[in-house]
Homo-oligomer: A and B are copies of this chain.
Amino acid sequence: MPTTLGWTITDWQQAYREGAEPESLISKLLDYLKDTDNAWISRLDDQGLNTAMAELSEHLEEVDGDLAQLPLFGVPFAVKDNIDAVGMATTAGCPAFAYQPGQDAAVVRKLKAAGAVLIGKTNLDQFATGLVGTRSPYGAVSNSFNKKVISGGSSSGSASVVARGLVPFSLGTDTAGSGRVPAGLNNLVGLKPTKGLLSIEGVVPACRSLDCVSVFGLTIHDAALVADCISGFEPADAYSRKAPTALPLDAPAIRRSGPVQRLAIPDSPRFFGDQQAEAAWNTALSQWRQLDTAGIELVPLDFTPMLELAALLYEGPWVAERHAAVEAFMANHAADINTTVRSIISNAGKFGATDTFKAQYRKEELVRQIDTLLSEIDGLLVPTAPIAPTIDAVNVNPVELNSQLGTYTNFVNLADLCALAVPAGFRDDGLPFGVTLISGAWKDRELQTLASQWLNAHPTPLGATDKPRPQEVATYPPAVPMVQVAVVG
């Protein structure tokens, strides 16, 4: 068993500062990875390791050996297999769809430039269509706490390999909750950034207008560090966005500058009969209420517009974005697509252009309703996943349970919000429970600050590793500063 199991990024950095060699640590790690572990779709082979080590040496020479300029020097990571990385096929969870990418996705390129070492590509619900982790010909990924339970998806493998401490961080994608649900079910931090903050260039689209690259980490510190390394405007990606100079001063509180303190919680949270989840939520709420942080306040609120928006994503024409992403492939290889995924994508044919625009109008109306509802609310606090079903249960009822899983995640990207899923204790059955903090676009850092205060007060072990959680950083500076308007010239 490699000594690196369960190491955070901070641990890896510490080891290198003390003289450890990347090749030695990473080759031991690669030797340990099992062929039977279906969290992986591909892993770095010997030749790939040599190439990676040669590139890393070059990077180090470029900065004259100054490790401080390579914040992720020698840190191994994994990416979901819908993200391009040179030398490993991109399958999107569908072998017949596989292709060899000519270049790295923008986020992979940036991670490598920061010194990180990609060691493998991970399993996923095919075409990132699912929140369960079972819709893959590479096998269902198990929960890292209980083999019979789902990992959650669609970024199932990326969550699993971090939760088990194989790598300190991984990339997922998140359209409807794929970067949050598996974080919640595996005791991880799942960072779902502001849409457009991390480029989706080189990512197989799910819903291109909504897709985000997400980060899984054992700690908030690690996830935030990774996000910082890979954020930034990419002109070639039409959905990449620059942060505004200032957040609007007269916007609803959810979209204004300032700390996230006043949190809406669902006034009648839905758990679909999962009493353990409900009990864990109530325990977490009582802990949040006692949180010794100035200004924190929980406000029960009617989440009807959020739930209607969530349903719109699932039941409305956005499914046609998934069709647009694989249209040519599907026309010739329908039989190669997972039956549940195929059935979902086929729903695209039910919607015409008129339906699409009408649904987009409804979306705008619901977002306006939500903004009005949150005019004096800084953020939302919700259960990350309201249920934690077994793989067998999902196989029997693949669509309804999937839909239930997305109750508190589906609306977020449609409403241009950012989110941070964090551990929140354990259920009586030993499964982890998670909560998600949500706020307006560009307030990612404010969520990190609040979530750090939470985890410092209520630390859980790291993922499924039993390692104790280190103290989180207390404060993250806002990405968009509060400004006073000073007219110039």
Chain A interface residues toward B at CB < 8 A: 208-209, 235, 238-239, 242, 244-251, 317, 319-321, 323-324, 327, 348-349, 351-358, 360-361, 364-365, 367-368, 372, 481-489
Contacts and interface: CB of A to CB of B under 8 A. Distances in A.
Which 3 interchain pairs have the tightest Cβ spacing?
A: A320-B353, A351-B353, A238-B364
A245 B243 CA distance: 13
Given A242-B251, A372-B235, A358 B486 contact: no
A372 B236 CA distance: 10
A354 B331 CA distance: 13
Contacts of A238: 361, 364-365, 367-368
Contacts of A245: 245-249, 483, 485
20 contacts: A208-B357, A209-B361, A238-B364, A238-B365, A238-B367, A238-B368, A242-B250, A244-B244, A244-B248, A245-B245, A246-B246, A320-B356, A320-B357, A324-B358, A348-B352, A351-B353, A353-B356, A481-B488, A482-B488, A483-B486
A258 to B, nearest CB: 9
A360 B97 CA distance: 25
Given A320-B353, A482-B488, 17 more contacts: A209-B357, A209-B361, A238-B361, A239-B364, A242-B248, A244-B244, A246-B483, A319-B353, A324-B358, A327-B354, A352-B352, A482-B487, A482-B489, A483-B485, A483-B486, A484-B486, A484-B488
A326 to B, nearest CB: 10
Contact of A487 (B247, B357, B483, B485): B483
Contacts of A360: 209
Contacts of A250: 242
B324 A361 contact: yes
Contacts of A489: 482
Contacts of A356: 317, 320, 353, 356-357
Q: Which of A357, A368, A484 has the most CB of B within 10 A?
A: A357
Given A323-B354, A354-B348, A483-B486, A368 B242 contact: no
Nearest to A347: B353
A46 to B, nearest CB: 40
A352 B351 contact: yes
Contacts of A487: 481-483
Contact of A208 (B209, B319, B361): B361
Given A235-B368, A251-B242, A357 B321 contact: yes
A242 B250 CA distance: 8
Given A249-B245, A486-B484, A354 B239 contact: no
A372 B233 CA distance: 13
Contacts of A484: 486, 488
A352 B244 CA distance: 34
A367 B364 CA distance: 21
Nearest to A484: B486
Nearest to A478: B487
A321 B356 CA distance: 9
A352 B248 CA distance: 36
Nearest to A358: B324
A349 to B, nearest CB: 7
Contacts of A352: 320, 348-349, 351-353
Given A238-B365, A361-B324, A487-B481, A317 B246 contact: no
Nearest to A239: B364
A408 B123 CA distance: 49
Nearest to A488: B482
A366 to B, nearest CB: 8
Nearest to A235: B372
Contacts of A368: 235, 238
Given A244-B246, A251-B242, A355 B354 contact: no
A176 to B, nearest CB: 15
